[in-house]
Structure 1
Amino acid sequence: MTRGRLEAFTDGVLAIIITIMVLELKVPQGGAFEDLTPLLPVFGSYVLSFIYLAIYWNNHHHMMQTVKQVSGSILWANMHLLFWLSLIPFVTGWMGENQFTTASVFLYGIILLCAAIAYFILQTLIIRDHGKDSILAKALGKDIKGKLSPVLYILGITGVFVNVWIGGLFYILVAVIWLIPDSRIERTLKDELPE
């Protein structure tokens, strides 16, 4: 399979996931601004999940620019990542509709952690297939953000049992860390590829 086909499939799945999430936003019965108030938790969880999906889409796009050939293991690792990302609409809706209960924020964190692990597996398999001197391996370097994120997710997952907002703050912190533009792959591609 070509890299382009894998990217197109992933793009399509992520577009469907975002569409499912936005369809969960129900229009209020009233026409006044105060009628929107009950939707704030649902909208807040939607915004956070949308940001996460945008981060995954951006990072996946950049990572795929380093791929020369797609092996069977890369295909399955990509499907593994999409599985966890496809559960985001469910946990987003459950969390928002139930006003951020301990169980819903806990499960949200578990899904985020599993997606991060799946992304790491995909990244690792690409490096294994392309070699330790590959563009991706060079670009990632020590990958501090990649190693820090699961630790923060675990702190958030355990923190929800103290207070759900502690868990939520850790999840937001990971999103903020990844929202800061990461030009490692772009920079390495520019250095490695002929003009």
Structure 2
Amino acid sequence: MTTGRLQAFSDGVIAILITIMVLELRTPDGGHWDDLRKDVPVLLAYVLSFVLVGIYWTNHHHMLAVVHTVTGAALWANLHLLFWLSLVPFTTDWMSENDFASAPVAAYGIDLLACAVAYFILQHVLQRADGEDSVLHRAVGTDAKGKASALVYVVGIALSFVDRWFGVVAYVVVALLWFIPDRRVERALATGAPPLTD
């Protein structure tokens, strides 16, 4: 199977998830700026989730751009990632509608951690299928950035029970870490050599 079909399917699912998130936003009851104030937490949660889903989309795109072999295991690993991404609208809504209470903030972090683990699994399956000399294998290296992100999610989940905002800050830190698209694949394509691990 070519990567084109896998990428098109994944793009469609991610587009639907973003649409679902925006449909969860409700319009304010009045026509004044003050009427928008009570919806600010919902809007901020939407922005964070939109950015995080967008980060997965861009990195997923880069990863599939350099892969040549799509196995059955890769198809299931991709579905695994899409499953956890499909829960982002649910956990976002639960968190924002409950004023960022500790349990929903932790659940949001658990979902984000599951997305990170699922992405790592997909990446590993694709690397194994393409071999150790593949562009993806050279680009990812030890994947210190991916592992650090998962660790920050774990810390954020734990801290959300101490203070909910600590958890939210941890998730924002991961978003900032990945906000600029991952350039490792682009560097590996451009140079044909292993990039510096980051």
| Cα distance between partner residues in 1 of 2:6 and 2:142 | 27
Name the Cα RMSD after superposition: 1.1
| Cα distance between partner residues in 1 of 2:180 and 2:19 | 25
| Cα distance between partner residues in 2 of 1:9 and 1:106 | 30
| Cα distance between partner residues in 2 of 1:69 and 1:31 | 54
Q: Which residue of 2 aligns with 1:56?
A: 56
| Cα distance between partner residues in 1 of 2:92 and 2:181 | 25
Q: Deviations over 1:111-167 (max 9, x none)?
A: 000000000000000111111121111001121111101110000000011100111
Say if 2:115 is the partner of 1:115: yes
| Cα distance between partner residues in 1 of 2:173 and 2:191 | 31
What displacement does 1:178 show? 0.5
Q: Deviations over 1:19-60 (max 9, x none)?
A: 000000001110011000111010010000000011000000
Say if 2:35 is the partner of 1:16: no
Q: Which residue of 2 aligns with 1:2?
A: 2
Consecutive unaligned residues in structure 2, runs of 5 or more? 194-198
| Cα distance between partner residues in 2 of 1:6 and 1:181 | 20
1:1-195 matches, within 5 Å, as: 1-192=1-192
Q: Deviations over 1:76-126 (max 9, x none)?
A: 000000000000000001111110001100000000000000000000001
Aligned length: 193
TM-score, normalised on structure 1? 0.97
Higher mean alpha-carbon deviation, 155-164 vs 128-137, is at: 128-137
TM-score, normalised on structure 2? 0.95
| Cα distance between partner residues in 2 of 1:95 and 1:148 | 24
| Cα distance between partner residues in 2 of 1:104 and 1:118 | 21
Asked if structure 1 preserves the Cα contact closer than 8 Å seen for 2:59 and 2:181, the reply is: no
Consecutive unaligned residues in structure 1, runs of 5 or more? none
Q: Which residue of 1 aligns with 2:196?
A: none
Paired amino acid for 2:155: L
| Cα distance between partner residues in 1 of 2:132 and 2:148 | 21
What displacement does 1:182 show? 2.3
| Cα distance between partner residues in 2 of 1:180 and 1:125 | 25
**Percent identity between the aligned chains?**
55
Paired amino acid for 2:109: G
| Cα distance between partner residues in 2 of 1:39 and 1:48 | 15
| Cα distance between partner residues in 1 of 2:53 and 2:2 | 23
